[in-house]
Amino acid sequence: MSKPTHITSGDVLDDLGFSRSEASALKFKATIVEAILAEVDRRGLTQRQLVDILDEYQPNVSSLLQGRISKISIEKLLRYADRLKMRSSIELRPPARLRIQMTKRASSPRKSVYA
């Protein structure tokens, strides 16, 4: 058994040198594609049917089905999801440290502005 040559810090994209915003975009794209592919599988759609539903060229649909998403924008992926009648939402949260501070403030009694 060989020893690992590199130990990740917990996030492979960080280790590959992506900035936080680039890593977030890649993770978001991967999440959208995963949901689209699950919906395609659930419906049992063929590539030909997807070409019609997505109103997209066959080579682009083939790339999507093979997970080659580097040249597909987040907006286009959201458009695909919409054409599949999927609903989407985006969740943004403050950093963990800020959430802890906000929680502490929310639990402490507030002074009334009108007192």
Mean pLDDT of all residues in 3-17: 68
Choice between 5 and 82, residue whose per-residue pLDDT is larger: 82
Is CATH 3.20.20.80 correct for 12-88? no
pTM higher than 0.85 for the full model?
no
Specify the length of the chain in residues: 115
Cα 32 from Cα 27, distance rounded (Å): 9
The per-residue pLDDT for 97 is: 74
Q: Which among 50, 53, 75 is positioned nearest to 64, based on CA atoms? A: 50
Res 107 pLDDT > 80: no
Cβ–Cβ under 8 Å, residues 55 and 61: no
Cβ–Cβ under 8 Å, residues 65 and 47: yes
